[in-house]
Structure 1
Amino acid sequence: MRRPIRMTLLFCAVMAAAIPASASAATVGISDQQPSTFTNPLYAPLKLKVARVITPYDVLKEPAEKARLDEWIHNAKLAKQTMLISFEHSRVPSKYNKAPSVATYTKAIKAFKKKYGSKFDISPWNEVNVCQAKGRQEGQPAKICKSATGPKLVAQYYSAARSVFKGRKIVALDILDGSNVGGAVSYLRKFKKYVKGTPTYWGIHNYSDTNRGSYSRTSRLIKEIGNKRAQIWLTETGGQLKLRGKVYGEAKAAKALKCMFSMPRRYKQIKRLYIYQFNGADASNDFDAGLINPDNTLREGYTVVQKRTSATCRP
């Protein structure tokens, strides 16, 4: 049920101190592209500590993207967030569907470090196993998303990021589970053959599990990672109200968030949850997983996150 903003703020103030310390075994944060997230008065009561943003690897060459990132970083710093930068394809029309060479990628992230510093956690490439549809920028270039070529190239990006951002937490792989997790498992297995060293941090986007009330895909990916000392970060997770235009609604999204909070209790390696996303989308968008509505009223999922409410995943 929607509430007026003044009632919402009163509710948030009352509830802010009510989050039990043991409610989640993992650090909880947000993945959201909007700089206004951190200045919204509804954000602070959630007591989120980490924040993730997706940005082009060559962001410094794209003025609009750079301006947005500048504001995002500025606001996230003011909100005292530990920031995770997740690089992906260019937004330049002639390059968005092309994977950069390792040399080009390395040069670009060195320029990023020179501009912004190195006090970030880094994901070398976002959601590696999702391909771009023809004529659309969402997803990744074919050379990256295809398992025949992607794992080797992404392993090289990972090595480059480790070299450039020495001493920082570097996520080895950001991978989407998918309704059929077999493709993700295959990609991960091939990546392990090419990657140098033993990665400490791994990223999983487990929407298919949380929104289907399941643990099976997350379990298979963690098993394939194999290293019991590694940390698993759910770098995108949460409850979807709308996907590809199909509406699921607030109650189902809230249920998915409760399922999400049960994950770290079942899998002790899961140390971070990045909920995607804070801001809700307008009606014209074909995807929406926001915790608040576009008019700044609360959704059911907001209270789930604020209270860190956990429930066993069930269909």
Structure 2
Amino acid sequence: MPGRNVSRPSALARALAVPAVLAVLAAAGCGGDGTGGAGTTTTAPAPSAPRTTTATTPAPASRLIVGMGDQNASTFANPAFLALGIRHARLVVSYDAMSVGFERQLVDQWMAAVTKAGIAPFVAFGHSRVHPARLPSIGAYSAAVAAFRRRYPRVRTFAAWNEVNNQSQPTQRAPERAAAYFDALRAQCPGCTLVAGDVLDQAGFVGYLRRYRAALRSRPQIWGLHDYSDTNRFRTTGTRAFLRAVPGEVWLTETGGVAKFGRSFPLDLQRQARALRYAFTLADSSPRITRMYLYNWLGAGPADRFDAGLVEADGTTQRPAYRALARVLRRR
């Protein structure tokens, strides 16, 4: 086994972590175009083996770039993480992070860590930590994002807003405003790589994307999807619907196997490993899917409700999900 890291995430990192899977796995009828899907149950769904008849022919494995979504700077100095050979990482930050001292400090630490490790950063903006329900004006958003870009000029890959359709975001009922944020970011950084959409595969996301696309003034080349529901329910419904709903390249900007989530997904590390392997099956199901970011590195404690960590909370690497990922990456 690779080396171990016994450090725990800092209080700052825990405060700012964004476990995106929570809402979608708890929602009834999540996934697809909002017309169906499994709801919340009191026991974990039986994870039958994925059937090859439900997915399209896999694309060549070599084209897929694999990254890690994680809020903790310590992850990117961990020997066990570095042994995987992952060279792309995703961070979720408040759109106004530069005006909040403690969040700016966290981002400084994270950026220093990925730079030292030679890892390419991808930043997704989201709601303010100070005013989480506030939908900023286009001018306020543009000014705040410009401040971020001045402080971190190395970052050239962005999502204008993380999980625009999630109930935790003020953009949930404002797809037109979410589209305007994308256009504003494109205007100030025409040479950047920008990911549009970045939606969660929950009920109604196709309708949300329809309004979002209609409001755009620019033409995105890359679209982002968080396919937690498909991955952990071993299905293709949401992923297929997303591919039909948008043109061009697709990134799975958050994905991964859930070790536990409340009563719906009791702790099951073997099921988590199977879901992680299935995440790659979904990624390989279309040549349009070119990148995926797994979430996240450290596991949670026994009292925590949500856990998608690839390794244990103390950094040890006994989890089957870590071993499964190492094997998958070696074969690619």
Structure 2 length normalisation: TM-score?
0.79
Aligned length: 273
Q: SS of the counterpart of 2:253?
A: strand
Of residues 130, 139, 146 in structure 2, which corresponds to 1:103?
A: 139
> What one-letter code is carried by the residue in structure 2 that aligns with 1:240?
V
Q: Deviations over 1:51-81 (max 9, x none)?
A: 0000001111111111011000110111111
> Aligned equivalents of 2:81 and 2:284: distance in 1?
25
Q: 1:120 to 1:309 in 2, by over 3 A?
A: closer
- Corresponding residue for 2:176? 152
Q: Is the 8 A contact 1:241 1:288 kept in 2?
A: yes
Q: SS of the counterpart of 2:76?
A: helix
- Corresponding residue for 2:86? 48
Q: Is the 8 A contact 1:49 1:81 kept in 2?
A: yes
Q: Deviations over 1:177-226 (max 9, x none)?
A: 02x4xx0111011111111232101110000001011111100011111x
Please state how far the C-alpha of 1:26 moved relative to its aligned partner.
0.7
> Aligned equivalents of 2:298 and 2:189: distance in 1?
30
Q: SS of the counterpart of 1:163?
A: helix
1:136-215 → structure 2 map (5 Å cutoff) = 139-141=168-170, 144-146=171-173, 150-178=174-202, 180=203, 183-215=204-236
Of residues 295, 303, 307 in structure 1, which corresponds to 2:323?
A: 303
Root-mean-square deviation (CA, aligned residues, Å) is 1.7
Q: SS of the counterpart of 2:91?
A: strand
More moved, 204-213 vs 248-257: 248-257
Structure 2 unaligned regions, length at least 5? 5-59
**1:129 and 2:165 correspond:** yes
Please state how far the C-alpha of 1:112 moved relative to its aligned partner.
0.9
Q: SS of the counterpart of 1:272?
A: strand
- Corresponding residue for 1:9? 3
- Corresponding residue for 1:241? 259
Q: SS of the counterpart of 2:132?
A: coil
Q: SS of the counterpart of 1:51?
A: strand
Q: Which runs of 4+ in 1 moved over 6 A?
A: none
> Aligned equivalents of 1:99 and 1:303: distance in 2?
42
- Corresponding residue for 1:18? none
- Corresponding residue for 1:116? 152
More moved, 99-108 vs 22-31: 22-31
**1:223 and 2:259 correspond:** no
Instruction: Indicate the structure whose relative CO is greater, using CA pairs within 8 Å and at least 6 residues apart.
Output: 2
Structure 1 length normalisation: TM-score?
0.83
- Corresponding residue for 1:15? none
> Aligned equivalents of 2:79 and 2:284: distance in 1?
30
- Percent identity reads 34
